[in-house]
């Protein structure tokens, strides 16, 4: 693992990875969450996250997660003794269907709530959840029909193992309404600077 700087310099990244894996007909995608100073710090962890993809693994989009649901997002050392988590950062991947389209639509949600049940209720209020449903094929949190709280991830649960043991995500109320910049476009891992 790389030699990490102080937690004040670290950032939480959300990365949309893509790969044309062997024996697949279309490009596949998954979301990766990692901690580093810059996106390039995460390349070894992204490769470990999705092994067997060779040179096809790439970034299709990313964001530095700094604001969610009126909260500032920071990375802190896990051993901080002043850490009290009243709220948690959740990642939800919704799936749904539209008439006459032979494909599943997806919509991801980052939200701050005290527990999974609140995060599930929030996901059910999204326009995507309400409109991407057909008789017999309702919107769902991926892998299950209907909202199943086991399919909602607390961000700290899905961090790479070394980061999970060392860092926490600190959420503090933020009055400003700044939004994170979303970076989109095909980016080979060896070209990330």
CATH of the domain at 56: 3.10.20.10
Radius of gyration, CA atoms only, the chain = 17
Q: What pTM value is reported for the model?
A: 0.86
Where in 37-191 does DSSP place strands (E)?
58-65, 67-68, 71-77, 88-96, 105-113, 140-141, 153-154, 167-173, 182-188
In a domain, 141, yes or no: yes
The Cα–Cα gap between 173 and 37 comes to 23
In a domain, 182, yes or no: yes
In a domain, 92, yes or no: yes
Task: State the total domains in the chain.
Answer: 1
Instruction: Give per-residue pLDDT as tens, 52-100.
Output: 888 899 999 999 999 998 999 999 988 766 666 789 999 998 888 888 8
Instruction: Give per-residue pLDDT as tens, 3-42.
Output: 545 666 999 999 999 999 778 889 999 999 999 999 999 9
The Cα–Cα gap between 74 and 172 comes to 8
In a domain, 4, yes or no: no
State which residues form the domain around 89.
Answer: 11-188
**CA geometry: angle 171, 175, 176, nearest 5 deg:** 105
């Amino acid at each position: 693992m790389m030699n990490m700087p102080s937690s004040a310099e670290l950032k939480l990244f959300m990365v949309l990875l893509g790969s044309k894996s062997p024996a697949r007909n279309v490009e596949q995608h998954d979301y990766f969450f990692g901690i580093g100073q810059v996106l390039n710090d995460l390349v070894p962890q992204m490769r470990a996250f999705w092994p067997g993809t060779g040179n096809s693994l790439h970034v299709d989009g990313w964001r530095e997660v700094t604001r969610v649901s009126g909260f500032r997002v920071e990375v802190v050392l896990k051993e901080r003794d002043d850490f009290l988590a009243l709220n948690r950062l959740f990642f939800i991947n919704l799936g749904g269907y539209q008439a006459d389209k032979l494909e599943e639509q997806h919509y991801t949600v980052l939200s701050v709530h005290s527990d999974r049940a609140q995060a599930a209720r929030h996901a059910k209020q999204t326009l995507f959840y309400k409109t991407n449903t057909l008789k017999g094929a309702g919107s769902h949190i991926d892998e299950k029909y209907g909202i199943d709280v086991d399919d909602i991830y607390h961000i700290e649960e899905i961090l790479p193992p070394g980061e999970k043991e060392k860092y926490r995500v600190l959420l503090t109320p933020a009055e400003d309404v700044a939004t994170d910049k979303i970076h989109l476009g095909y980016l080979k891992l060896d070209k990330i600077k």
